[in-house]
Amino acid sequence: MLTIKIEARAQKFLRRVPHKHGRQIVGKIDALATNPFPPDSKRLKGLPFHQVDSGEYRIAYNLESPIVHVYLIGKRNDDEVYKQLKRMG
């Protein structure tokens, strides 16, 4: 089982979302500890990150075994997540 580390930007986002959505996102993140590459995940082109969706939110993460780093969480239809990831990557 892997360790999950939620980075500061992702933690800040989780504090702002409605409680119900936050629980769903955290459940999806926790599932990454047992399977870091679920069937609905995909690698982001040109970036060292993977993404997985949770409802209307997108979770961007990277596996540096034995730690899954969750870097960003954002709205699925918001390109701002990708812009931030490009700056980080």
pLDDT of the chain, 89 residues: tens digit per residue:
899 999 999 999 999 999 999 999 999 999 999 999 999 999 998 889 999 999 999 999 999 999 999 999 998 877 777 788 788 76
pLDDT at 85: 79
Q: Residue with structure tokens 């609905």?
A: 40
Strand pairing partners for 88? none
pLDDT at 88: 79
Domain ranges of the chain: 3-88
pLDDT at 41: 96
List, in order, residues 6 or more apart from 67 with CB less than 8 Å away: 2, 3, 4, 5
State the Cα–Cα distance between residues 79 and 8, nearest whole angstrom: 20
Tokens of 32: 């990454």
DSSP SS3 for 72: strand
The DSSP output letter for 46 is: T
CATH of domain 3-88: 3.30.2310.20
